[in-house]
């Protein structure tokens, strides 16, 4: 039995999933995550998936409690490296272990060089390390396990799948900043991120939409700890709110989103901030955390009575509604809006506020459906369909790995 392991390293988490290779199918065997890495709230969770014997389309899940996790050799880890080492040792000790055909990794920035999944060499890793300053919260954490595993398991292919790849075929206008041509030629362009998530939603949408519903002009709102939106025309990305880096666009958990670039100059020239100070401010101290002064976590803000929490939520939704209008402009109209990722999938009040501000675009929310996170949350006669679809970046990575392995055969 062959298996594919997927690692999705985020700023403070490592999500993982293990798939069995069964011809073209990839049944999920285990999934889980280490969260709160490098904070005082480290945690780990693991779920084992088995096929339901009565209905093989429905997997049944078994969630391990803390004691069972410890007996599996898994406990909360402090760093990304600790987490990956512990995971590999658990992986090695498992009963019913198969042969590892590949390890797939989410790599956030592929620059202009990488437009599809690739089996990595040490030279590739060196190239990708150069993009670390463009995604400081992600790229180093994505590359660290790759380097570690290349040493530990030199015979197992380490395959990178890129957040930027889905956006690589956007029209030039959507990619270009109004900067002198020589800077554009150097790669100072809008790349866009969360592409693995958009790819998954784009692939899933056709099975979700009823017959006759158009997929021509779609906006996907990926609202997680990082947040962006993507305009998708007939399955292809045509514009995104994220740009050269994953700072651009919507306000996020701790990131500012779009700012007047003159403000950055002001911080450096008049507030005596160094480049590093500004970087920390914009990546780690802004967004929901900065505006609320309370938390970067939407759950805490929604539960809080503090006016600052409400202000942060209002600003978040206002900016989201404005970006939807902007992307609808890029698409020349709108047929479907999809919410996904942590906030998009679970925060009904946030979706309600955003859709209310987009009513003029032809969206009508079904409050009851929204309240219980139904797949379709718009009323039957809403001109624009509004959907909630859970994303699955790990599955996109696993299927891209499988396609690459088959190509190499
Ligand atoms: N039930 C919920 N209600 C509101 N927000 C939620 C809920 N569950 C998760 N979230 C939000 O989703 C965020 C994490 O989203 P996720 O897509 O997992 O992010 P990432 O992959 O960037 O770490 C959390 O920070 C939290 O704000
Ligand atoms: C690119 C990005 O912002 O990713 P995440 O949402 O996982 O932080
Ligand atoms: Mg994410």
Q: Is 385 part of any known ligand binding site? A: no
| Euclidean distance between CA atoms 114 and 162, whole angstroms | 7
* Residue 51 pLDDT: 78
Element (H, E) at 148: helix 139-152
Higher-pLDDT residue of 60, 243: 243
| Euclidean distance between CA atoms 84 and 299, whole angstroms | 28
* ipTM score over 0.95, yes or no: yes
Domains, the chain, with CATH or none: 2-162 (3.30.420.40), 211-388 (3.30.420.40)
Q: Is 345 part of any known ligand binding site? A: yes
What digits encode the pLDDT tens for the residues 241-274? 999 999 999 999 999 999 999 999 999 999 999 9
% the chain with pLDDT above 70:
99
230 CB under 6 A from ligand 1? Answer: no
Mean pLDDT over residues 222-237, rounded?
Answer: 96
Mean pLDDT over residues 219-243, rounded?
Answer: 97
Ligand nearest to the CA of 343: 1
What digits encode the pLDDT tens for the residues 320-338? 999 999 999 999 999 999 9
| Residue 62 backbone dihedrals phi, psi, to 5 degrees | -130, 115
Task: Let me know the angle formed at the C-alpha of 257 by 252 and 262, rounded to the nearest 5 degrees.
Answer: 155
Confidence category of residue 68, pLDDT binned at 50, 70, 90: confident
Mean pLDDT, the chain, integer: 94
* Residue 100 pLDDT: 94
Cα(first)–Cα(last) distance of the chain, in Å?
17
Higher-pLDDT residue of 10, 248: 248
Contact 161, 400 (CB under 8 A): yes
Going through 291-406 in order, the beta strands assigned E by DSSP cover 336-340, 385-388
* Residue 93 pLDDT: 83
Mean pLDDT over residues 147-173, rounded?
Answer: 96
Helix (H, G, I), strand (E, B) or coil at 197: helix
Q: Which of 343, 346, 389, 390 to mutate to test the pocket of ligand 1 (most atoms within 8 A of CB)?
A: 343
Q: Copy the structure tokens of residue 184.
A: 């554009």
Mean pLDDT over residues 127-148, rounded?
Answer: 94
Confidence category of residue 57, pLDDT binned at 50, 70, 90: low
Helix, strand, coil proportions of the chain in percent (round to 5)? Answer: 40, 20, 35
Mean pLDDT over residues 364-388, rounded?
Answer: 97
Does residue 163 have an active-site annotation? yes
Q: Is 361 part of any known ligand binding site? A: no
341 CB under 6 A from ligand 1? Answer: yes
Confidence category of residue 179, pLDDT binned at 50, 70, 90: very high
Question: CB within 8 A of 114, min separation 6: which ones?
Answer: 107, 124, 128, 160, 162, 164, 165
- 85 CA to centre of own chain: 23
**Residue 56 clears pLDDT 90, i.e. is over it:** no
| Euclidean distance between CA atoms 242 and 194, whole angstroms | 9
- 24 CA to centre of own chain: 25
Contact 155, 198 (CB under 8 A): no
Contact 106, 199 (CB under 8 A): no
Confidence category of residue 54, pLDDT binned at 50, 70, 90: low
297 CB under 6 A from ligand 1? Answer: yes
Confidence category of residue 55, pLDDT binned at 50, 70, 90: low
| Residue 3 backbone dihedrals phi, psi, to 5 degrees | -135, 155
What digits encode the pLDDT tens for the residues 159-171? 999 999 999 999 9
**d(CA 298, ligand 1 centre) in Å:** 7
* Residue 205 pLDDT: 95
Indicate the length of the chain as a whole number.
409
Q: Copy the structure tokens of residue 356.
A: 């209310």
Task: Given the residues 163, 199, 392, 400, select the one marked as catalytic.
Answer: 163
Question: CB within 8 A of 125, min separation 6: which ones?
Answer: 143, 146, 147, 150
């Amino acid at each position: 039995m062959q298996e594919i392991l997927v690692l999705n390293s985020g700023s403070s988490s490592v999500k993982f999933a293990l798939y069995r290779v069964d011809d073209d199918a990839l049944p999920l065997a285990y999934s889980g995550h280490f969260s709160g890495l490098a904070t005082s709230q480290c945690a780990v969770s693991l779920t084992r998936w088995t096929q339901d014997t009565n209905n093989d389309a429905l997997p049944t899940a078994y969630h391990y409690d803390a004691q069972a996790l410890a007996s599996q050799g898994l406990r909360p880890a402090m760093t990304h490296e600790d987490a990956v080492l512990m995971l590999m040792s658990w992986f090695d000790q498992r009963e019913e272990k198969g042969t590892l055909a590949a390890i797939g990794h989410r790599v956030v920035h592929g620059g202009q060089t990488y437009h599809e999944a690739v089996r990595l060499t040490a030279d590739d890793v060196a190239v990708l390390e150069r993009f670390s300053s463009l995604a400081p919260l992600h790229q180093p954490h994505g590359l660290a396990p790759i380097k570690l595993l290349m040493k530990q398991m030199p015979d197992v292919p380490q395959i990178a799948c890129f957040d930027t790849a889905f956006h690589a075929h956007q029209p030039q206008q959507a990619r270009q900043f109004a900067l002198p041509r020589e800077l554009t030629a150097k790669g100072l362009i809008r790349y866009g991120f969360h592409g693995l998530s958009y790819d998954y939603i784009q692939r899933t949408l056709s099975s979700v939409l009823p017959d006759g519903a158009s997929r021509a002009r779609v906006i996907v709102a990926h609202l997680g700890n990082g947040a962006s939106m993507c305009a998708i025309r007939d399955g292809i990305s045509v514009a995104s709110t994220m740009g050269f880096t994953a700072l651009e666009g919507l306000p996020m958990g701790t990131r500012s989103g779009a700012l007047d670039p003159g403000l950055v100059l002001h911080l450096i020239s008049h507030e005596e901030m160094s480049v590093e100070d500004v970087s920390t401010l914009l990546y780690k101290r802004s967004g929901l955390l900065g505006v609320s002064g309370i938390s970067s976590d939407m759950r805490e803000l929604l539960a809080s009575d503090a006016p600052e929490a409400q202000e942060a939520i209002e600003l978040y939704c206002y900016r989201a509604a404005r970006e939807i209008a902007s992307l609808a402009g890029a698409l020349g109209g709108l047929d479907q809006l999809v919410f996904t990722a942590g906030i998009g999938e679970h925060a009904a009040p946030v979706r309600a506020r955003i859709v209310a501000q987009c009513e003029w675009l032809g969206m009508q929310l079904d409050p009851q459906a929204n309240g219980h996170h139904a797949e379709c949350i718009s009323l039957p006669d809403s001109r624009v369909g509004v959907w909630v679809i859970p994303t699955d970046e790990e599955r996109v990575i696993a299927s891209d790995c499988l396609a690459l392995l088959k190509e190499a055969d």
